Amino acid sequence: MKILIINGPNLNMLGKREPEIYGSETFEDYFTQLQFKFKDTELSYYQSNIEGELISKLHEANESFNGVVLNGAAYTHTSVGLGDAVASISIPVIEVHISNTFAREEFRHHSYLSKYAKGIIVGFGLKSYDLAIENFLMEQ
């Protein structure tokens, strides 16, 4: 099973960015733990702050992965293009968010991705990613 985690804008700042919301762990450290936990799964990680790069990565993933865990970050709430990219690929995409976006500002309540996602995991901190991977493994 090959799973790609894609993180959108500002998620390269995890650990430093608003730690009261997103925690104090870097994604790189967390990713190392994920690889240890899911030893039999081929996990890859990609982050970009650029909308078009995220879109292109989703297209590429369609050829080479079984599923994507996508945190579109702020583009979740703004990008028709990112939503269309999720719709355009045939592998399943699970949308995740670290924070509970529904408990935050109104503009975070809408997602252009959710309609095309296999499912949505929101508000469990970095554990949201674990839960998404576990779902993919359950379906094997």
Residue numbers annotated as active site: 22, 97
Rg (alpha carbons) of the chain, rounded to whole number: 14
- Residue 98 binds to ligand DQA (criterion: CB under 6 A): yes
Helix (H) or strand (E) holding 63: helix 51-64
| Binding window for ligand DQA (CB under 6 A); candidates: 35-43, 61-69, 79-87, 94-102 | 94-102
Q: How far is the CB of 35 from ligand DQA (least distance, A)?
A: 20
Q: From the list 70, 97, 116, 121, which residue makes contact with ligand DQA (rule: CB under 6 A)?
A: 97
- Please enumerate, by residue number, every residue annotated as part of a binding site for substrate: 71, 77, 84, 98-99, 108
| Residue among 47, 48, 79, 101 that touches ligand DQA (CB under 6 A) | 101
The verdict on 78 binding ligand DQA (CB under 6 A) reads no
What does each C-alpha distance from 32 to 46, 56, 64, 136 come to in angstroms? 14, 25, 21, 19
CA distances for 77 relative to 34, 74, 107, 112, 138, angstroms: 27, 6, 7, 6, 29
